[in-house]
Amino acid sequence: MANKIQTVKGTREFYPEQMALRNFIYEKVRAASQAFGYQEYDGPFIEPIDLYAAKSGEELVKKQSFTFQDRGGDFVTLRPELTPSLARMIAAKQGELTFPVRWWSFGPFWRYESPQKGRTREFFQWNVDMIGVDTPEADAELIAVAASFLRSVGLTPRQAAIFVNNRSLINAQFDALDIPPEKRVDVSNLIDRRAKMKPEAWDENGLELGLNRNQLEGLKGVLENYELWKQSEELVRVFDALEALGVKEYIKFEPGVMRGLLYYTSTVFEAFDLTGSVRRSILGGGRYDNLLADVGGDPLPATGFAMGDVVIGIILQEKGLVPEFDPTPADVLVTVFDESLWKKSLELSTQLRNAGIATMVYPEAVKLQKQFKFADRMKMKVALVLGPEEAEKGLVVVKNLLNGEQVQVQTEAVVEEVKKLLG
């Protein structure tokens, strides 16, 4: 114990049970993406650091990424996000791709941050993006993909919601309050923080940023105005589309959703668990029409979102939405009676596998009791016994482990009998 080498901080080991959860998420993500016609893709896991330097802040690249020099002396980084790789991939084939491009991906990412509940240094992230159109209906589609996923894993609108806002709508409010453009980032961050601060502390924070009383009160008015979306043609169209897409019950207008990122230009959204212990967002995204041009591609409008596997994994477990773990993909155990019958048991298993039935052979000629106990623990459904008596007569015992009943059948009839039991 003392000398064991620990895992790298913030990484997780995926035992079969955790792997099942990861695959469960992957399957649901894939289904939601493909239902809307998105194609799966991926980029490299290691990238030149310069790819991120173009648009990311210094703190991000230097402090929050896994960066190192390779043997040739080049600085490379474990990808902290996918969007720059996506932008490069789109730019490289801009002439060949059929637009609008609808792409999705689910893969590993790394961020050098302090691990907390819902946050690790190594995680999986689902990315979904549509590139080449700038309609509010496209934004709505992305939100609908996200909502379909939430629904497909069993989260009800009462348990999870997607909060939608619009950057340009809020920027117009800033203008109306005479909040200068250079303060927008700070004020946006202030808005993001509102939910987790006491009102007095929040007020104080706002005054420190240089807002006056009028601006502060005006800002609160904006944040409490849940009719504000009616002033945004884009949001009106987004909400109309979401209704037609059948996911309206998951959607709420929320003037306080800003998203930290600078590059969002219009629609922004973020999904939260409404009832559980995780306060972090489940997923988030929005429209980023300038990004592709910023990283060196031709200007192309784009909209998309990302979801990490950690937060959603915790939520699914807390709410009991993860399917019961199945310890083995094999439903049938062929027991081994004694050393002299090894070969017959192995042959029997081959016969079953050739018929498409996943089958395990017990790998030791130990007491049947032990072999049965193993089958029980592994929640297997059928056990086969081939002892001296059966071998002599060309028979096999087929036992239904769910009800304990067993029958002797001809060796040739085993497959049929097993199929009957597995239904």
Quickly count: other Cβ atoms within 10 Å of residue 76's Cβ: 18
Q: Is 280 in the site for RNA (CB under 7 A)?
A: yes
Tokens in use for 235? 């949001």
Q: What are phi and psi of 160, to 5 degrees?
A: -140, 145
User: What's the CA gap between 72 and 132, in Å, rounded?
Assistant: 37
DSSP 116: B
Amino acid at 59: E
How are beta strands 39-40 and 101-110 bridged, if at all? Answer: parallel
Closer of 22 and 237 to RNA (Cβ): 22
Q: Is 284 in the site for RNA (CB under 7 A)?
A: yes
Closer of 141 and 270 to RNA (Cβ): 270
Q: Is 383 in the site for RNA (CB under 7 A)?
A: yes
Q: Is 10 in the site for RNA (CB under 7 A)?
A: yes
Q: Is 98 in the site for RNA (CB under 7 A)?
A: no
Closer of 98 and 114 to RNA (Cβ): 114
Angle between helices 414-422 and 342-354 (to 10 degrees): 60
- Closest approach of Cβ 26 to RNA, in Å? 21
Question: Could you say which of 29, 32, 83, 309 contacts RNA (CB under 7 A)?
Answer: 83
User: What's the CA gap between 259 and 375, in Å, rounded?
Assistant: 51
| 355 three-class SS | coil
Q: Is 385 in the site for RNA (CB under 7 A)?
A: yes
Q: Please answer whether residues 230 and 236 qualify as being in contact, where contact means their C-beta atoms are separated by less than 8 angstroms.
A: yes
Q: Is 389 in the site for RNA (CB under 7 A)?
A: yes
User: What's the CA gap between 236 and 213, in Å, rounded?
Assistant: 31
Angle between helices 233-244 and 167-176 (to 10 degrees): 150
Question: Could you say which of 122, 141, 234, 390 contacts RNA (CB under 7 A)?
Answer: 390
- Residues in the interface with RNA (CB under 7 A) total 60
Q: Which stretch binds RNA (CB under 7 A): 4-12, 14-22, 26-34, 151-159?
A: 4-12
Q: Please answer whether residues 87 and 297 qualify as being in contact, where contact means their C-beta atoms are separated by less than 8 angstroms.
A: yes
Question: Could you say which of 93, 213, 230, 279 contacts RNA (CB under 7 A)?
Answer: 279
- Closest approach of Cβ 224 to RNA, in Å? 21
Question: Could you say which of 113, 134, 240, 249 contacts RNA (CB under 7 A)?
Answer: 113
Give every CB contact of residue 187 below 8 A, 6+ residues apart in sequence: 174, 179, 206, 209, 211, 219
Question: Could you say which of 107, 115, 157, 276 contacts RNA (CB under 7 A)?
Answer: 115
**Subset of 118-157 contacting RNA (CB under 7 A):** 119
Question: Could you say which of 17, 298, 376, 416 contacts RNA (CB under 7 A)?
Answer: 376
User: What's the CA gap between 362 and 313, in Å, rounded?
Assistant: 34
**Subset of 14-73 contacting RNA (CB under 7 A):** 52, 56-57, 59-61, 63-65
Closer of 3 and 98 to RNA (Cβ): 3
Closer of 33 and 371 to RNA (Cβ): 371
Q: How many angstroms separate the Cα of 84 from the Cα of each of 16, 49, 50, 290?
A: 33, 11, 10, 12
Dihedral sign (CA 292, 296, 298, 299): positive
Q: Is 370 in the site for RNA (CB under 7 A)?
A: yes
Q: Is 165 in the site for RNA (CB under 7 A)?
A: no
Q: How many angstroms separate the Cα of 209 from the Cα of each of 181, 201, 218, 387?
A: 13, 12, 15, 83
Chain residues that interact with RNA, rule: CB under 7 A:
1-2, 6, 9-10, 52, 56-57, 59-61, 63-65, 80-81, 83, 111, 113-117, 119, 189, 192-193, 196-197, 259-261, 279-280, 284, 306, 337, 367-370, 372-373, 375-377, 383, 385, 387-390, 397, 399-404, 406
